[in-house]
A and B are shown apart, each in its own frame.
Chain A
Amino acid sequence: MFNILTNVRGQIVGGLTALLMGGMSVFSFAQAGGHESVLRVIPHADLKNLDPIWTTAYISRNHGYLIYDTLFAMDSDFNVQPQMVDTYTKSDDGMNWSFTLRDGLMWHNGDAVTAADCVASLARWGKRDGMGQALMTAMGSMTAVDDKTFTFELAKPFGLVLESIGKISSNVPFMMPASVAATDAFEQITDFTGSGPFMFSKDDWVPGSTVEYTKFDGYNPRSEPASAAAGGKLALVDKVIWTYFPDQMTAMNALQTGEVDFFESPANDLAPLMSANPDITVEVNDPLGNIGFLRFNHVLPPFDNVEIRRAALMAVKQEDYLAAAVGDQAYWSTCYSVFPCGTPMASDIANDIIQVADTDKAKAALTAAGYDGTPVIIMQPTDIPVLSNFSLVTAQKLREAGFTVEVQAMDWSTLTSRRAKRDPVSEGGWNIFHTWWIGADIMNPTSIAFSGNPDAGWFGWPTDPVSEAARTKFFVAGSLAEQQELSSIVQNQAWTNAFSGHLGQFFSPVAYRNNVKGLIKSPVQFFWNISK
């Protein structure tokens, strides 16, 4: 308490002095920044956690991309390209890899980026990320040979080495100084020195409000043009300032009046209002969009019975969800692949199972499955409109099919803790929740969304050894054809055993003032190459 009062007293005394000494200047319209070019951004969420390895939150990932760099990165064709790495080699059997860093890589404090930093960063990431854990399981040793070269010696075959260390979404293997990467993977880092195109100052960070990033003059970009996360990262503005707006309407108004330049994630229903303004561009920047998920709890009745899960899926229809939750058809499309449509692993294997959309057939299937009227508890997160509407559509469709349904309203934070419970419904358990995955996170079977291992899998805990075996093999698959074959098995199992319901693909537009140029099309919002 004393600290607060001292701080405030200091601020007030200092401020009053400034007021008295400043004379007429106190009536000026002083604007921070002067002649600096500043990109003012409304991010999709408040940046609460600064460590993108400690959390999978997308906002922390986006923060990470501004201040850190990656060894490899995914381009817009989903190919992994070198980023910090200059050259690399691998042995014919794929068991030995050697990587050499580019010249001129530098931390924000001026020190050179070394191979030892990269090895330490990979080790920390490998303790938290799913693909990282798989890679580390196969890893014999990671060694920094000299300042610029490090090697992998695999103990067992692993086919996704580059895909793992070049993954585009959470947790992204960002490179940090070795001293920072030595932090326990389950504790937050406290030093935010990166080697990315922008620098972060913790002193200027106001959680819940503002984050400032300053251009790092020492950044040495690649010469190739930017392509998704890959290519040259050119910082074309002096500062990027994120200001979080808890209220969408205020955010839209601020964009309309030019108080901000870029609105990362406006609600779809605000898009027409902004499109009507000739100074604003509204467009979809993420080609993969988001995939809606209806998740069953496989360990509790009634959805411990596969026939009842399939009956539930017969009752629902993607168009109903997308119309209710997203609205404008310009921002959604149906997709019956477990992997995002338009990506290399997408297929139509067994997708007739989730296209029935017939209440009568669902009723008949439910009766045949021996449903005994056990109530279905649907957790409805009322603070996230899309998911709230998904929940209501499911409730209605299941009721029409003969299920007894109870919708329990709660906020998302409550849902995230409750969904981790495997307890019976009477002790806080649940039967269904809804969420969405960004397309980039479920492009192949390695995502935990497709786990068939009930002990180490994602909430809902399906059991499917066939799918799990295919996922395991996917990690060592050598060719695209082999990967697609294994992905087909995973999809077949996912639909046949009704792991989840897929509610279609939907896209969130971005909105920006017309003087903002150079946006990169990508599943992740990047802020390099943007000028204004």
Chain B
Amino acid sequence: MFYVIKRILATIPVMVVVALFVFCIIRLGPGDPASVIAGDYATAEDIQEIRIKLGLADPIPVQMGKWFVQLASGDLGKSYHSNMQVTKLISQRLEPTLLLAVTTILLTVFVAIPLGTLAAYKAGSWVDKFVMIFSVAGFSIPVFVLGYILVYIFAMELRWLPVQGYRSPFDDGFLLFLKHITMPAVTLSVIYIALISRMTRASVVEVLNEDYVRTARAKGQSEFKILLRHALPNAAVPIVTVLGISIALMIGGVVVTESVYNIPGLGRLVLDAVLSRDYGVIQGLILFFSFIYIFINLLIDLSYTLIDPRIRY
């Protein structure tokens, strides 16, 4: 518990550094929200007037000070464009991204770990080669290409699934949710299935060569039990580590997937905010993502103690 509290407290300076970095890097970059807001036909005077009203004409340290005061009161700020609270924008978009990520992770775990374990068990066989070829292909194919291929087959030709959009399981029904999330989740998970199945294979192959596995075999345990009770738990630490990193990296993957499938999630919110130089939203979102990233890392570290009793904090 002390370790957990220590880790949670340690996030505070990390978040402060992230906030500082994000604030500075955005201001150093080219572009200006006022010119985007004013529109194509505004004059320089109009743009300057809008800059003043938005507080963008203030010196950078003043702007930074105001933002930190806001943050201290739990306010992530407002969108310069929509005038909406960043927290509201995030809460509007969180469900699609969260459920896309969860579905993707479930799909990844349920496909990649058995696949990798099977490849390890049948190392050197055609099954192993097939899994490895799939893995290389999964790594190589860009998300958007795979997305369009799936759309063409399952939405345009077979008409089994919709081209785009998101339906909430809570508001629209579970089946409708499933129909809309299937292709995006498959598209996004392929690269992670490729990664985790390779990782699983490598870890399990290593474990299968250990003395205790040989001992288990000598004692007459079935191969299934050996894999399930001895190989997988001992191979789990690196798999969980990669899985955790994958979840964090998924933040990047959802941007493309959400664009291809027109899902109104956080990935697209980031992209839109960057393109329109919506400083308030960019800052708020990066802080939010940093928090998620740190939280996931904490969960991974804590999960080690469950997987491997030798690990203690």
Contact = CB atoms under 8 A, between A and B. Distances in A.
Decide if A and B are genuine partners: yes
Interface residues of B, number: 71
A49 B90 CA distance: 18
Interface residues of A, number: 74
Interface in A1-59: 1-4, 7-8, 11-12, 14-16, 18-19, 22, 25-32, 46, 48-50, 54-57
Interface string B6-45: 0000000000000000000000001110111111111111
Contact of A1 (B172, B259, B291): B291
B83 interface: yes
A255 to B, nearest CB: 9
B69 to A, nearest CB: 16
A458 B38 CA distance: 13
Interface in A222-276: 243, 245-247, 249-251, 253-254, 256-257, 259
Contact of B41 (A7, A170, A207, A418): A170
Contacts of B169: 15, 19, 26
Interface string B124-147: 000000000000000000000000
Interface in B259-292: 259-262, 264, 268-269, 271-272, 275-277, 288, 291
Given A4-B90, A4-B91, A246 B37 contact: no
Find the residue from A12, A55, A410 having the highest chain B CB count within 10 A. Answer: A55
A19 B170 CA distance: 6
B50 A2 contact: no
Interface stretch (B60-68, B151-159, B195-203): B151-159
B264 A56 contact: no
Contacts of A49: 37, 81-82
Interface string B85-114: 101111111110010000000000000000
Contacts of A7: 87-88, 91, 94
B53 interface: yes
A190 B83 CA distance: 8
A12 B168 CA distance: 11
Contact of A257 (B35, B42, B162): B162
B267 to A, nearest CB: 11
A114 B243 CA distance: 63
Contact of A18 (B36, B82, B170): B170
A478 interface: no
Nearest to A51: B83
B84 interface: yes
Specify the main secondary structure of chain B where it touches its partner. Answer: helix
A25 B174 CA distance: 9
B152 to A, nearest CB: 8
A284 to B, nearest CB: 21
B220 interface: no
A140 interface: no
Interface string A410-426: 11111011101000000
A206 interface: yes
B155 to A, nearest CB: 6
B74 A1 contact: yes
A48 B40 contact: no
Contacts of B84: 207
A1 B159 CA distance: 41
Contacts of A441: 41
B309 interface: no
B38 A3 contact: no
Contact of A458 (B37, B41, B53): B41
Interface string A166-188: 00001000000000000010111
A416 B30 CA distance: 10
A27 B156 CA distance: 24
Contacts of A208: 264, 268-269, 272
B79 A184 contact: no
Given A26-B169, A188-B83, A383-B275, 7 more contacts: A3-B85, A4-B90, A8-B91, A11-B170, A30-B173, A210-B264, A411-B275
Interface of A: 1-4, 7-8, 11-12, 14-16, 18-19, 22, 25-32, 46, 48-50, 54-57, 128, 170, 184, 186-188, 190, 205-210, 243, 245-247, 249-251, 253-254, 256-257, 259, 383, 410-414, 416-418, 420, 435, 437, 441, 448-449, 456-459
